Amino acid sequence: MDPLDVMTNLDKVLPYYQAIFSADEQKVIGYEVLGRIQFEHEVKSLGQFFHDEGIPDEYRIEVDDLLVTHALDDVLKIQNEALIFINRDANLLMRDHGESFLSLLQEKQSLGLDLNRIVLEITEHNFRGDLEQLHHLLTYYRTYGIKIAVDNIGKDSSNLDRIGMLSPDILKIDLQPLRSTVSLQSYYDVLYSISLLARKIGATLLYEDIEASFQLQYAWKNGGRYYQGYYLHKPDKNFIEENVSKEQLKVEFHHFIVAEKRKLHTLYTHSEKFHQRISLLLSKVMKQHQEFNEIIEELAIALDDCCFRIYICDEDGFQQSGNIIKKEHWEFQPEYMLKNWSWRPYFLENMMKMRYDKKGFLSDLYMDIETGELIRTFSYPLNQNHYLFIDLPYSYLYEQEGLL
């Protein structure tokens, strides 16, 4: 829309509300306020108006304040405790150091609004000012009970250090890229990093733009407590009944749980079978060979159908053998002798697990540094001080049900 059409029709600006659902109670726990305008017998989004930096700041602030005022008036009319998510451009917010926005909220607080229900949404990667000052403002807002959400994570470049500095209460992760047909492994890896950050800083994950069941399943499986998107409920000019999607979510979650249990059972079964296979092989090979390099060369021949790299490390992660690696044929790489891998995530933790459980196990899926493909590693305790590592290639995992 032409910005002037918006500014000359302010009486037609109205808020729409997109429901946010919780995993733990399967009910509506909040609403995001979205800008709409009734124009020429059609309700149109104001999203582009708010994101167009060519429009004067004063125009965008005026419309935003009007929208929030209408929304909070609606909130004061209903008897529930739902959170209200309000988007604000951090650059515009800092023009007066957040004073006008807080004044607007305090005006409604005097009429009965509980500020503990307010969630301020900002987009970190769009902010061009002093991050330290923004952090101070958000900290000040929190003294009033206002919660902070960082929006659009995963959609554009986001700096995890900057996000961590802001210490948001909620991280909103955009799942729209999951509908892409291109390879998404790097995107999955970024989301995994974000989930780790959320755990470290005590933030709740909210997955947005959920438009299909598989996106909801991804959100459920990857630590999402809150969900939002057209698949669950479209934006509406009215607040909806809080249990409107409860049965749908209970059924979906049940399917997800059954599928995940089945996958975990399959993974456990594969791990047990592999453990038995390696145990039998080693009982034969180690009767004939004592040198680690000889042991892995013999294992490579026996495991030609399922692995592409084998090596042995001591309890501190120092390699006690070279690598035996499958390219066009098996090759021995002596230069890997004494390389240390203790810096890898979970490496020492896995060593201790093998020491005390006295059995091998399959790792999770991860991207191999050298080959760039998805693999799993089977780790096996040779004795109290030495551990065997067998890398399984993507081609093998693909052929086995439940390993991808």
Indicate whether 113 belongs to any domain. Answer: yes
pLDDT of residue 155: 59
Per-residue pLDDT, 197 = 86
Residue 154: CATH number of its domain: 3.20.20.450
137 shares its domain with 76: yes
Q: Are residues 30 and 164 in the same domain?
A: yes
Residue 190 and residue 279 in one domain: no
Q: Please check whether residues 103 and 160 belong to one and the same domain.
A: yes
What pLDDT was estimated at residue 401?
A: 85
- Is 251 part of a structural domain of the chain? no
Domain's final residue, options 214, 232, 250: 232
**Domains held by the chain: number:** 2
Of 2, 54, 10, the C-alpha closest to 35 is 10
How far apart CA 299 and CA 307 sit, in angstroms, is 10
One domain for residues 223 and 270 = no
Q: Distance between CA 378 and CA 368 in Å, rounded?
A: 14
The position carrying tokens 């009319």 is 77
The domain of 138 spans: 3-232
Q: Are both 111 and 196 inside the same structural domain? A: yes
Residues 87 and 199 grouped into a single domain: yes
Report residue 53 as tokens: 């930096």
Residue 154: its pLDDT value, please?
Answer: 62
Give 344-350's long-range contacts (Cβ < 8 A, gap of 24+): 344/317, 347/317, 348/317, 350/379
Answer left, alpha or beta for residue 389, where phi above 0 means left and psi between -120 and 50 means alpha. Answer: beta
Q: For position 252, what pLDDT does the model report?
A: 97
Q: Are residues 266 and 227 in the same domain?
A: no
φ, ψ (nearest 5 deg) of residue 333: -120, 90
List the beta strands (DSSP E) in 127-232. Answer: 147-153, 170-174, 204-208, 224-227
Q: Point out the domain boundary residue: 191, 214, 232.
A: 232
Claim to verify: residue 227 and residue 375 sit in the same structural domain: no
Torsion angle defined by CA atoms of residues 90, 93, 96 and 97, in that order, rounded to the nearest 10 degrees: -60
Task: List the chain residues with pLDDT less than 70.
Answer: 154-158, 180-186
In a domain, 237, yes or no: no
| CATH number of the domain that residue 273 is part of | 3.30.450.20
How far is it, in rounded angstroms, from Cα 188 to Cα 83? Answer: 29
Asked if residue 104 belongs to a domain, the reply is: yes
The verdict on 100 and 50 lying in the same domain is: yes
Question: Are both 381 and 324 inside the same structural domain?
Answer: yes
List, in sequence order, every residue forming a beta bridge with 18; answer none if it has no partner: 32
Please state the length of the chain: 404
Quick count: other Cβ atoms within 10 Å of Cβ 365? 14
User: Residues 318, 212: one domain?
Assistant: no
**Confidence (pLDDT) at 138:** 96
Task: Note whether residue 239 is domain-resident.
Answer: no
Let me know if residue 297 belongs to a domain.
yes
Whether 246 maps to a domain, the answer reads: no
Q: Whose structure tokens read 């000052």?
A: 133
Give the integer Cα–Cα distance in Å for 135 and 126: 15
Q: Among 232, 251, 274, where does a domain finish?
A: 232
- Whether 288 is in a domain gets the answer yes
Question: What is the 8-class DSSP label of residue 212?
Answer: S
